[in-house]
Amino acid sequence: MALRRLGWTAGPAGGVTVNDRIVRMAQEQAGRALRSAGWRAGLTSAVLETWPRDPGKRTPKEWDQVREAALGGRCLPSGVIRSRTRQITAFAAKNGRLPADVFELEAPPRAARMLLLSACDGQQATIERGEGDPQRALLRLQLPSRPDPRSYRDWTWVACPVTLPPTVPAGAVLHLPTLRLAGGKVRADLAYTHVVPKASRTGHTVGLGVDWGLNTLLSAGATRLHDDGHITALGHGAQFRAAGVLARQHRLRRLSEHLHAKVNHIEQLIAGDQRHELSGKHEVLRDEIRFVSDRRSHLNDALAWAAARWTVDQAIAAHATVIYLEDLRSMEAGGMGRTHNTRMSQTVRGQIADRIRHLAAEAGIAVVTVPPRNTARHCPQCLTPLRHRKAPDRPTVAGWKWAICPDRARCGWQGDRDHGAWQRIAARGLTHQAKTITDRATGQMVIRTVVDTLETAAVITATTETSRADRSKTGPTRRRTTRPAPRRRGAPSPTGPSGPAGKRPEGHAPPGRRTLPRAAHRHQDVTTISTPSPGLRPGGPPSSRHRPRGAALGAGFHLHAHASPPRWAELTPDPTVRIGSLS
């Protein structure tokens, strides 16, 4: 309706009959493109009006000037201003002058192939849930039966069954979707409304602090604010590692840069000649750039949803009512090398934050952004500036991953840099609850400034561990034999069917087995006996040592037991044969 008041109306081609709702969809899509172009034009004009002396490094005064000139510049991330500055710098290096406006700097935007049914009413499209199946919906809309409808009789109602994903609640109210083409299929971007708990700005006792990283994309942990004002950490926190996905993202970025370099070189050779022999290769490379860009977009979207789901699940598991995030506007990578800075700058932190707010709203969890100043530089337990080292076993090598508190006498905290950061973020958010406001432009909860009196109380109180003793290693590890001890029988074996009643079976061998793996030339048939120790017994005759024939050590029930020889192994004496003297 704003476009119609301005006189920016659209109409169908001559001889084509469409109703006013189809015109509204076209005007809505055009209005969105114009709104985006107007925002880019205003930002470009603000950067050009306050062009700095050194585009690569603005002074604080120049930063204030460009934020004052831009519409909503105070809430605008500095990375957006910096990227626009780089775009203008590249244009100036190529053409030898600054661009006049955004229309000279950028190509015309392309219109997406989609139907914005949300701009219509029930006379053009309706949607309702299926009868008996809450995961099915029926979309009815009027579509033309020919490419150039001549009258309203060429329009007919079409029923489109829609399968709802399991994330849509059964009691949610469905709204008209946006239909678009993707991969040869019609996709429906469905919006729905359902009742959720209301998130509160204050009154939180358990909060989840989230810190950003590179390979370890997110580090999060919960803290509790007690009645007496001290704060304790609930556990040791967790990390969301996405090194593989970010490495793939980095490879796609380098591939895209390589393709852009080749396209720019070919464009210089062609010089606008459409009949040049390299024109075909130029079109192929352009298509490949769009394909790589789509892959990067899909990968970023999947990564953002996965990281957001993990963060909200951590808050739900810890029974936290608020999630504290670092303010993304001032987060820029610098001083870590060209490759590291680029990878940090192109992470999807903004998408992750938006999806965290979306998923947290369903659970009634508030999401508050806090200033990131000194969250990774100060100790979470005493606020002393930390010493960053390469690893815990290399305390003298400078680095950035491991943090050590220099006050070893009173504090002595040390740990991963990211773990200390999320503790500082959560403690700062819990102590500054009274300073939480809702931004009117974005509707997001944010803490603008850090109060020194409140910051002194934003420390984590160390808890004493009494559940387990110190198991630190104090000496060399005892050497263990490679041969394990034999298995001991815990209870008597049942009576064997082949032996006499009340007798045990023959050791490890099952009843009825004729051979043993460790004593192949004998057959245990009786119970085992203990081997007496050799020597003289005091006050008696010398003890006789038991020497069983054909027995193997350890073949019985125990290591010191041996089996008696079977009866068939002993010769039966013949009473008719007498040896010796008759006298």
What's residue 209's pLDDT? 95
Instruction: Give me the percent of the chain exceeding a pLDDT of 70.
Output: 77
* Confidence class for position 573, pLDDT limits 50, 70, 90: low
* Confidence class for position 580, pLDDT limits 50, 70, 90: very low
Q: What is the dihedral of CA 412, 414, 417, 422, to 10 degrees?
A: -70
Most confidently modeled range among 330-339, 425-434, 487-496: 425-434
Mean pLDDT over 555-575 rounds to: 52
* Confidence class for position 8, pLDDT limits 50, 70, 90: confident
Most confidently modeled range among 71-75, 208-212, 384-388, 510-514: 208-212
pLDDT digits (tens, 9 = 90+) for 89-132: 999 988 899 998 898 888 888 888 888 898 888 889 999 988 87
What contacts 386, CB < 8 A, 6 or more positions away?
Answer: 376, 377, 378, 379, 403, 404, 405, 406, 417, 420
**Of 243, 236, 428, which is closest to residue 325 (Cα–Cα)?**
428
What contacts 382, CB < 8 A, 6 or more positions away?
Answer: 405, 407, 410, 411, 413, 459
Mean pLDDT over 193-200 rounds to: 89
What's residue 570's pLDDT? 54
Distance CA 405, CA 424 (A): 14
Does 290 or 498 have the greater pLDDT score? 290
Does 311 or 213 have the greater pLDDT score? 311
Mean pLDDT over 238-253 rounds to: 88
Mean pLDDT over 345-353 rounds to: 75
Mean pLDDT, the chain, rounded, equals 80
pLDDT digits (tens, 9 = 90+) for 402-417: 888 888 888 888 888 8
* Confidence class for position 557, pLDDT limits 50, 70, 90: very low
Cβ atoms of 382 and 459 within 8 Å: the answer is yes
Most confidently modeled range among 76-85, 489-498, 545-554: 76-85
Eight-class DSSP state of 401 = S
Does 75 or 467 have the greater pLDDT score? 75
Cβ atoms of 492 and 507 within 8 Å: the answer is no
What's residue 483's pLDDT? 66
Architecture of domain 206-243+296-455: 2-Layer Sandwich (3.30)
Name the one residue in this structure whose structure tokens are 């082949």: 498
Q: What type of residue sits at position 309?
A: R
Decide if pLDDT at 13 tops 50: yes
pLDDT digits (tens, 9 = 90+) for 199-209: 998 999 999 99
Distance CA 253, CA 263 (A): 15
Decide if pLDDT at 338 tops 60: no
What are the extents of the domains in the chain? 2-105, 114-193, 206-243+296-455
Decide if pLDDT at 523 tops 60: no
* Confidence class for position 504, pLDDT limits 50, 70, 90: low
What CATH class has 114-193? Answer: mainly beta
Does 566 or 42 have the greater pLDDT score? 42
Alpha helices in 318-416 (DSSP H): 338-345, 349-362
What's residue 3's pLDDT? 75
Decide if pLDDT at 490 tops 60: no
Name the one residue in this structure whose structure tokens are 């393709």: 259
Give 436's strand partners.
447
Mean pLDDT over 256-281 rounds to: 88
Does 333 or 58 have the greater pLDDT score? 58
Give 528's strand partners.
563
Degrees, nearest 5: CA angle 413-414-420: 90
Indicate the burial class of 527 (C-beta count within 10 angstroms; 0-12, 13-18, 19 or more). Answer: middle
Decide if pLDDT at 548 tops 70: no
Instruction: Give me the percent of the chain exceeding a pLDDT of 90.
Output: 28
* Confidence class for position 234, pLDDT limits 50, 70, 90: very high
Does 576 or 360 have the greater pLDDT score? 360
